[in-house]
């Protein structure tokens, strides 16, 4: 019995390993020869034409609905960077914007062409401003924004890392260049209340900017970049900064400034008192203030609707082309005469 037990225990593992090896070799062979089980649909002309037609029939109505939603958005765009410079300084805009002794206040009048239902979103738009520049994007420290002076390694913030030997909170070029134009809106002599809360992403406020981190040594150097920050308010509550720190991928971008939470009627005139402080003249940039309503699809953007209509129309055109080709040169299924090697041998 011992000998039989020993014999069975000796051959069992070898047989098991041999069977595993055989399975592995079989699977490898099927993989290399592309014989593994797979879904292999046969793309017959009927299936292809039907698929293109369905895509076109679905996409075109969706495109028109999206386009209609976009067109329902009322949007007012007013460029003010040139008109808000006094006539005598228009030949030298850079000296005007850098001279702190000159008043930068300006008043613009905007006509409301259509009824604007609240909430009305206020944006500032900058053109030719490359927030996606590599050195600019890297000049920040996310851990310092969250932990403040507890995190000392701010080498990534150069050249706005230290000032007078002390760290800067928040450090980096992005925070240093914070947009600092201000807007006040009036209608019929009454100031419109602008809600500036909850303009930043909730995830940014709660998880990226510290609730116990306060600005320190910020904009105290000889070269002032943009807006000052309230040293008595934590970064998580300074939503202008949070909005600005989410950099844009394109050179023309809009950032949310606030919301007007009352309706504006058609033919109303809005007086915008603004402070033209931000220097876009050094790099040929443009500044605009935007008032916009929203729809279920968001703001005004015709691209999505146009894209759906164009793709749907192209699919229907391709379907009809395939139908005509199939009717002109029908091909029986499974006819081996159409194989490439058979055609060569025939010739």
The tens digit of pLDDT for each residue in 212-254 reads 999 999 998 778 888 999 999 999 999 999 999 999 999 999 9
pTM more than 0.85: no
CA distances from 221 to 89, 163, 177, 210, 256 (A): 27, 6, 13, 24, 28
The tens digit of pLDDT for each residue in 334-343 reads 666 666 666 6
What's the burial of 277, exposed, middle or buried (CB within 10 Å: 0-12/13-18/19+)?
middle
Give the pLDDT confidence score for residue 44 in this predicted structure. 83
Cα 19 from Cα 151, distance rounded (Å): 59
Given a contact cutoff of 8 angstroms between Cβ atoms, the answer to whether 206 and 236 are in contact is yes
Q: Helices 45-71 and 303-328 sit at what angle, rounded to 10 degrees?
A: 160
Give the pLDDT confidence score for residue 36 in this predicted structure. 72
Residue stretches of the chain with pLDDT short of 70: 1-21, 23-24, 334-347
The tens digit of pLDDT for each residue in 124-143 reads 999 999 999 999 999 999 99
Chain centre to alpha carbon of residue 293: 19
Give the pLDDT confidence score for residue 2 in this predicted structure. 45
Give the pLDDT confidence score for residue 109 in this predicted structure. 95
């Amino acid at each position: 019995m011992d000998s039989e037990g020993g014999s069975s225990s000796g051959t069992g593992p070898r047989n098991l390993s041999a069977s595993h090896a055989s399975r592995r070799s079989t699977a490898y062979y099927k993989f290399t020869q592309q014989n593994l089980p797979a879904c292999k649909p046969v793309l017959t002309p009927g299936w292809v034409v039907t698929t293109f037609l369905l895509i076109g029939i679905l996409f075109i109505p969706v495109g028109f609905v999206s386009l209609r939603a976009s067109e329902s958005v009322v949007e007012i765009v007013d460029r003010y960077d040139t008109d808000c410079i006094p006539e005598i300084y228009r030949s030298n805009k850079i000296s005007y914007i850098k001279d702190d002794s000159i008043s930068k206040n300006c008043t613009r009048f905007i006509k409301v062409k259509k009824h604007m239902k609240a909430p009305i979103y206020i944006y500032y738009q900058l053109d030719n401003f490359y927030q996606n520049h590599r050195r600019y994007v890297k000049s920040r420290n996310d851990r310092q924004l969250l932990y403040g002076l507890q995190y000392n390694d701010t080498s990534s913030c150069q050249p706005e890392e230290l000032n007078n030997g002390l760290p800067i909170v928040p450090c980096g070029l992005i925070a240093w260049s914070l947009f600092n134009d201000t807007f006040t809106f009036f209608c019929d002599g009454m100031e419109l209340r602008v809600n500036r809360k909850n303009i930043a992403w909730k995830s940014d406020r709660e998880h990226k900017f510290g609730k116990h981190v306060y600005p320190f040594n910020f904009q105290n150097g000889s070269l002032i970049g943009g807006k000052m920050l309230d040293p008595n308010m934590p970064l998580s509550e300074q939503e202008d900064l949070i909005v600005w720190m989410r950099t844009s991928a394109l050179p023309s971008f809009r950032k949310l400034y606030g919301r007007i939470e009352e309706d504006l009627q058609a033919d109303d005139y809005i007086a915008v008192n603004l402070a033209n402080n931000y220097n876009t003249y050094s790099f040929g940039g443009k500044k605009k203030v935007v008032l916009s309503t929203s729809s279920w699809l968001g703001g005004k953007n015709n691209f999505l609707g146009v894209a759906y209509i164009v793709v749907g129309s192209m699919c229907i055109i391709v379907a009809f082309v395939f139908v005509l080709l199939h009717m002109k040169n029908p091909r029986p299924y499974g006819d081996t005469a159409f194989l490439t090697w058979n055609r060569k041998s025939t010739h």
